[in-house]
Structure 1
Amino acid sequence: MEPPDLRRAIEAGRATASELGLPADDAAVVHNADRAVLRLLPCDVLARVAPQGHLAESALEVEAARRLAEVGAPVAGLDPRLAPRVHVRDGFAVSLWTYYEPVAAPIAPADYAHALVRHHAALRRIDLDDAPHVGDRIAGALAVVADPERSPDLSGADRELLVATLRDLGAGIGADRARDQLLHGEPHPGNLLNTGRGPLFVDLATCCRGPVEFDIAHAPDEVGRHYPGADHDLVHRCRAVDWAMFSAWRWRREDQMPDRDHWRAQGLDRLRASLGRLGPGRTPSGGGGHGRR
């Protein structure tokens, strides 16, 4: 969020907690992107504050957290002192969560994979009617980069690369619906906390349906080697599509990711590296993996 919006989001988070009886004199920004994540003190609550246009995603996240907690999933929980719901205030959707003090030690790849296996097992035990299919998310990203009005800063070569990747590789992901299940959607290292309770996944607003390899592709390479039964060829294809989707969001006219220019370049570089690992003749037609910014 830009500074004026972030200030309003902080005030909305503090006011929501205070009205619910949780003192929130101070707010520390834990993360700032299209939504703000705040640590509120002295009540020690984590507030996730999104523009009201993201109300549906926030509601999906809260419902997913509630149901996953009931089946023992390794996920961060909602604040137990409050009813599990999204609060709307001053144009923002606010949800309130338990704050976990982070453990500084890195999560070993085997532990990461084990947490993901447990999470997928828990996800198979719940249902979320509003969770989209991964194909719908890919189509949404494709619509952004295929429309110059929605992504006006994207160069012709990079636009062609992103369109070709999302169109050609994306079509093959989730085509076999028999392998689909409910997924986290974006279980990358930034969404896995190392806590005193072990690794816990956060940011459940990206829940979707598709093959487990789509989730595995968000984790470091070493993690996939510890995930039993993974189709590693599909993981590599999913990783290329993941980076194409990430890049598509960064090139949106309205994207508010801090340091956006860096992440635009980084996303395209990671996409090209992922396509390079697919081998000759495996890159999407028209993309080639060699566009220049």
Structure 2
Amino acid sequence: MEPAELRRAVEAGRETVSELSLRVDDVIVIHNSDRVALRLVPCDVLARVAPSGHRAESEFEVEVARCLAEVGAPVAELEPRVEPRVHVRDAFAISLWTYYEPVGPEIAPADYADVFLRHHAALRQIDLDAPHFTDRVASALREVNDREHSPELPDSDRGLLSDTLSGLSAAVSLERAGDQLLHGEPHPGNLLNTWRGPLFVDLATCCRGPVEFDLAHAPEEVAKHYPGADHDLIHRCRALNWAMFSAWRWRRDDQMPDRGHWRVEGLNRVRAALDRIGPG
């Protein structure tokens, strides 16, 4: 968020939590992108604040978290001292979560795979109306193919992303028999090492698809510890994930920090992933 919008988001988070009779002396910005994560102290609440246009996405995330908590999934929990819902204030949608202080070293590949197995098992126990991953691919493809939405994307790179998104989406989704609910974006930034063990966060990306789509977001060593994983499918999904990532970075209104770097790096990752797959 731009500085003026960020100030409003911080104040909206502060006022929302204060009105719920939780003490707020200070607000720390943990993450700032198209939505922000705020740590409020000393009550130690994590507020996720998004523009109100993302209210439906925030409400979906709260519902996913509520359902997964009931089956003991390894996910960050909603703030237990308040009602589990999305609050709206000053054109922002605000959800409230337990804050977890990061602990310990980097999560080892075997432990990463173990938390994946437990999370996927929990996801199979709940019933949610979630989109298929191909719906997200289609959304990214629309951004790439619409020059008004991505005016700075060079034509050659536009063709690369368009072909990759359309071709790999079709290839990966040919067989849906093994599809299930997924996290959607379980990269290392969305897996926290906490006193409770590794916990997944950012649950709004929950979708349906093969488990390999999730595994493709993790470091490559992780899949070696996940029984039954299709490694060729993981390679295709990794190329597809980087193509989607790149599509978002070239949106005119993208607000990811250091966007210029990630525009270039994303395209480089797409090419490297495609080279690994090989012709066809």
What is the TM-score with the length of structure 2 in the denominator?
0.98
> What is the aligned partner in structure 2 of residue 32 from structure 1?
32
Cα distance in 1 for residues equivalent to 2:54 and 2:156: 31
What's the secondary structure of 2:17's corresponding residue?
helix
Cα deviations across residues 83-141 of structure 1 (Å, max 9, x unaligned)? 11010111111001001111141100000000011000000001111x11101000000
Q: Which residue of 2 aligns with 1:152?
A: 151
- Shift in Å, 1:258: 1.3
**1:2 and 1:263 mapped to 2: Cα distance?**
18
5+ residue gaps, structure 1? 283-293
Partner of 1:77: 77
Give the Cα separation in 1 of the matches to 2:242 and 2:2.
24
Deviation at 1:174, TM superposition (A): 2.5
Q: Any gaps of 5 or more consecutive residues in structure 2?
A: none
**Which residue number in structure 2 is paired with residue 230 of structure 1?**
229
For 2:108, the aligned partner's letter is A
* Cα displacement (A) at 1:25: 2.3
Residue by residue over 1:244-283, the C-alpha shift from the partner in whole angstroms, topping out at 9 and shown as x without a partner, is: 000101111111111110111111111111111112x13x
Q: Which amino acid aligns with 2:91?
A: G
Q: Is the contact made by 1:38 and 1:46 (CA closer than 8 Å) also made in structure 2?
A: yes
Q: Distance in 1 between matches of 2:223 and 2:265?
A: 22
State the shift of 1:175 in Å.
Answer: 2.7
Q: Which residue of 1 aligns with 2:193?
A: 194
Residue in structure 2 matched with residue 94 of structure 1 by the alignment:
94
Matches of 2:206 and 2:125, distance apart in 1: 14
Code of the residue aligned with 1:271 in structure 2: it is V
Aligned to 2:184: 185
Query: Equivalent residue of 2:144, what SS?
Result: helix
Report what 2:10 is aligned to.
10
Residue 202 of structure 1 aligns to which amino acid in structure 2? V
**Aligned equivalents of 1:204 and 1:46: distance in 2?**
14
2:61 aligned partner: 61
2:266 aligns with 267
CA apart distance, 1:170 = 1.2
Cα distance in 2, alignment partners of residues 175 and 93 from structure 1: 37
Contact (CA 8 Å) 1:62, 1:78: kept in 2 or not? yes
Paired positions, count: 280
Q: Aligned residue for 2:136?
A: 137
Match of 1:251 in 2: 250
Letter in 1 for 2:195: G
Distance 1:270 1:12 in 2: 37
Inter-partner Cα distance in structure 2 for 1:24 and 1:154: 43
**Residue aligning to 1:170:** 169
1:153-177 deviation per Cα after TM superposition (whole angstroms, max 9, x unaligned): 0001110100000011111223322
CA distance in 1, matches of 2:168, 2:79: 40
Provide the secondary structure at the position in 2 that maps to 1:41.
Answer: strand
Distance 2:176 2:236 in 1: 17
List structure 1 segments (4+ residues) > 6 angstroms apart after TM superposition. none
Q: Which secondary structure does the structure 2 equivalent of 1:97 belong to?
A: strand
Structure 2: distance between partners of 1:139 and 1:36: 26
Alignment-mate amino acid for residue 31 of structure 1: H
In the alignment, which residue of structure 2 is the partner of 1:123? 123
For residues 60 and 178 of structure 1, the distance between their equivalents in structure 2, rounded to whole angstroms, comes to 25
Q: Determine helix, strand or coil for the equivalent of 2:199.
A: strand
Counterpart code for 1:254: D
Q: Distance in 2 between matches of 1:44 and 1:31?
A: 16
Distance 2:248 2:89 in 1: 26
- The percent of aligned pairs where both chains have the same amino acid is 72
Aligned residues of 1:213 and 1:238 also touching (Cα < 8 A):
yes
Residues of 2 paired with 1:174 and 1:67: CA distance? Answer: 26
| SS class of match (1:50) | strand
